Structures are given as C-alpha cells and as structure tokens.
Amino acid sequence: MDFAGRTGFVSAGVSGIGLGIAQALGLAGMRLALSYRNEAHRDQAAAWFRDKGLEAPLFVKLDVTDRDGWARAADETEARFGKVHVLVNNAGVSVFGPTDEASYADYDWIMGVNFGGNVNGLVTFIPRIKAHGEGGHIVNVASMAAFISGPQAGIYTASKFAVRGLTECLRYNLAPFDIGVSLMCPGLTRTNAWDSALKRPEGFADSGFAPADRAELERFATGFDLGMDPFEVGEKTLAGMRANRGLILTHPEHGPDIQEIYETTMAALPQQEAPEGRLHIERLRREANRQAAAGKVIALDDLT
C-alpha cells in the first residue's frame, strides 16, 4: 500500500515508540491522529511535526481501556481526516514483579492495558476500515517478550504472548479485505517505559508486588538509555508495513534467543510417527492457513 495521503491512528503516539512510529508515518506523507495521556508529551510531539513542516496531527486524549473513548476518538479522526486506513496499537505498561506474588489487580491492570487496549482498538477500527473497502494496515506493537520470558515479567510477558497470538490469527482473517496485519516486537528502546509502575491507577492499587521504589526504577532506567532510538524503530516498522510482513523484528541482538527457542522446541517433539488421520488434519490446517494468507475466507469445513 502507498501510505502517502492516507490517515493513521496511533495510540500513545506522542512519546517513545509510538512517537517514533508516528514520525516515520508522518514523513511518509500520512495524516495522523495520535492519542495521548500526558500534555507535555503532546506539546513536544506537536512541536516536532511543526518544525518538520508536516501537517499537524489530531491529538486525542484517550485511556485505551475506555471503550467509549475509543469510539469518540475514531469519530473525531474521521471528522477531521475522513477514512482511516492504518491503526497502530502501541499503548502499554511495563510493570514487573514476581508472578507468584501477583494479585488480581496486577493481572487486571497489565492485561487490561497491554491486551485489552489492543482489543479495543481493533473492535473500534476494523469495521470502519472494512467498510470503506480500500484496504489498510494494522500494527499491533508487542515486545520481544512475546517470545522471551523472564522471572520478573510474568504478566507483562503473558500480555505480549496474547497480542502475538491474536495478531497472527487476525492476519488470516483480514487478508480477504486487503488489510495487512503486522506484529511488531521491539527490543530495548530509549523510552520512559521504565516508570509505568509509578503511574499505577488508584483502582488497581491492591498490588501483590512490593511498592514501587523510584530509586530502584531509576537504576533500572539506565538500561533504557542504551536502547535503540524510537525513530529507528519507527522506520523499521514502516518498512515492514510496506512489505506487508506479518512479523516485524527491529533488534538484531535477539538471534541467540530465537535460536534457543527453536532448538528447545524441536527437541521437545516426540521422536515417533504420527498416525495418518492426525497427519491428514494437520495438512488440512496448513493448507487452510496458506489459502487464508492468499485471501480466502476459511470456514470450519475447510479444517476437516
């Protein structure tokens, strides 16, 4: 798809990775609506677009867990720009702690933003993109945590695994409508994501984790200073969109992790022959996936 002149909506698009993607899309000629929570970040983003001589984005204040807010944001975007062709679900919180100590509130908050925020964006915008019939593209921003787990990131990792699975399936569903779908998994990026725990909403205060320690988090933040520039992440995201890649990986340093995952997975497979009946079903599934990727609508009858 030629993205010049098209309209895109980027959630949490005024700082960090969201802004990096918005900058890349803006320089590619797109008209943009960017959601925000922080007015200072909004003003800084507006200044960047102004200094580059680009069309001013529409800035929409939005809590991505607010479904009515999403509907209003979509209405405002269409009122300003007309048809929306691109959705980038970027908003997320990076909150860590021992998974075995997590409370319901920890699960509800992190999953509600990182997975539920994506769901809200999809349910809001997919019908609108399908309705105009001109195709489009959806990017769900996850993380390398969609592949790599760790002892301090259980719920965060679960949310990113969920986004990965949803995105991979959605790509098959939307191919018949000429709507590309990409999962973008960045690694360490120079953002302020480290301070999410300091912004915990009051409604989710009953945490099983130890209270957030600013000094500890600021030490943790020094690692983010070594991260990739968000604009580079944005440029790589745009390149993946232009190529309609289902998976966009931005950081080359994760090769050893991917190799280990592959080898561990292959080693876990039983070394025995499967019966022909089961093999037949799996052949049908693989062929259905190939047909879906090519634009065919798949029904349950295609799987048996």
> What is the 3 state secondary structure string of the chain?
CCCCCCEEEECCCCCHHHHHHHHHHHHCCCEEEEEECCHHHHHHHHHHHHHCCCCCCEEEECCCCCHHHHHHHHHHHHHHHCCCCEEEECCCCCCCECHHHCCHHHHHHHHHHHCHHHHHHHHHHHHHHHHHCCCEEEEEECCHHHCCCCCCEHHHHHHHHHHHHHHHHHHHHHHHHCEEEEEEECCCECCCHHHHHHHCCHHHCCCCCCCCCHHHHHHHHHHHCCCECHHHHHHHHHHHHHCCCCEEECCHHHHHHHHHHHHHHHHHCCCCCCCHHHHHHHHHHHHHHHHHHCCCCCCHHHHC
Is residue 156 among the annotated active site residues? yes
Question: Out of 104, 156, 172, 262, which one is annotated catalytic?
Answer: 156
Catalytic sites, residue numbers: 156
